[in-house]
Amino acid sequence: MILTVSHVTTYHYAAPVRGAVQSLRLTPSRTDGQRTASWMLQVEGGTKGGSFRDGAGDWIESWSVRGPITELRVRVEGTVETTDMAGILRGHRENVSPSAYLRETEPTVADAALLTLARDAADGASGGLDLAHRLSTAVSDRIAYRPGATSARTTAAEALALGEGVCQDHAHALITMARAQGLPARYASGYLFADASGAAHEAAHAWAEIWVDGLGWIGFDPANRCCPDDRYIRLGSGSDARDAAPIRGVAVGAATESLNVEVAVRAQQQ
């Protein structure tokens, strides 16, 4: 499938700030399942700094903007050709050991309810792949997809207790449960063309990746009850949502900040 992406993130400041510095993980991953035909990443009025590929294989760019400014806009446009790899992350070069993703983080702390759900899902599993699928299904069954039900700071335990959330909550819950069962797991961010039924979906998306011995990293998307296929574009990964955030930065000044995000993913060819 050939997917085109238009992604604009705009920061508004109530009063002029002296400048801003940003670290951007907004370039598609190099994998066997996706080939970037064209890609443009720009911070309007900004100066591009250093760029590098980190240990997890993600491309990071730094940008700075001199003030005074009351608005900062990050613009992404590009085209990516995708192939359905049944969720398996093939051809992605990285040198971080999978065991690094067994570590608990603030949003992925396992409480009693998450541990119980993981144990129940694991009962009867025939191996690592079967276990991962069972854990993902358990998250899908217990946390309903409900936009606006949670916030960026909601933890996996809180989302499970609430029984609803967004893709970030599904990913955090699955990561927590996989780690509790001894499977390395991490958070992946990117774009999604449509959900499993073909209906419109939030184009900026997130899912979990679980390490299965003999297969490597495999993506699981509990929000859509599937593994990532050719409708997905992968940008990067991390231990949790904050670690994998496509945009991280700081503004120099004390002004109140508001955010607006516009993302569109379209298919040129199916």
pLDDT for the residue 201 = 63
Residue 123 predicted with pLDDT over 90: yes
| Cβ count near 60 (within 10 Å) | 17
CATH topology assigned to domain 85-238? C8orf32 fold (3.10.620)
Residue 218, number of CB atoms within 10 A of its CB: 22
pLDDT level of residue 109 (50, 70, 90 thresholds) = very high
Q: Tell me which residue of 88, 181, 87 sits closest to 139, measured CA to CA.
A: 181
Task: Please name the amino acid found at residue 154.
Answer: T
The DSSP annotation for 57-105 comes to S-EEEEEEEEEEEEEEEEEEEEEEEE---TTB--S----S-GGGGGS--
Which pTM does this prediction carry? 0.95
* pLDDT tens digits along 200-259: 467 899 999 999 999 999 999 999 999 999 999 999 999 999 999 999 999 998 789 999
**Cβ 206 vs Cβ 167: under 8 Å:** yes
For 43-88, the pLDDT digits (tens) are: 999 999 999 999 999 999 999 999 899 999 999 999 999 999 999 9
Check whether 196 has a pLDDT greater than 60. no
The one-letter amino acid code at 100 reads A
Q: What is the rounded CA–CA span in Å between residue 32 and residue 218?
A: 13
User: Is 198's pLDDT higher than 60?
Assistant: no
Collect all residues with Cβ–Cβ distance below 8 Å to 259 and sequence separation of at least 6.
Answer: 9, 10, 11, 12
Residues with Cβ within 8 Å of 141's Cβ and at least 6 positions away in sequence, in order, are: none
pLDDT at 270 over 70: no
- d(CA 178, CA 173) in angstroms, rounded, equals 9
Q: Is 239 helix (H, G, I), strand (E, B) or coil?
A: coil
| pLDDT cut 90: percent of the chain above it | 93
Question: Could you give the 3-state DSSP secondary structure of residue 219?
Answer: strand
Band of residue 195 on the pLDDT scale cut at 50, 70, 90: low
Question: In whole numbers, what is the pLDDT of the chain averaged over residues?
Answer: 95
Mean pLDDT in residue range 161-187: 98
Domains of the chain: which residue ranges? 2-81+247-269, 85-238
- Between 3.40.50.2300, 1.10.10.10, 3.30.460.20, 2.60.40.2250, what CATH number should domain 2-81+247-269 receive? 2.60.40.2250
pLDDT of amino acid 194: 74
Q: In this predicted structure, what is the pLDDT of residue 177?
A: 98
Helix/strand/coil for 126: coil
Quick one: which H or E segment has residue 117?
helix 112-122
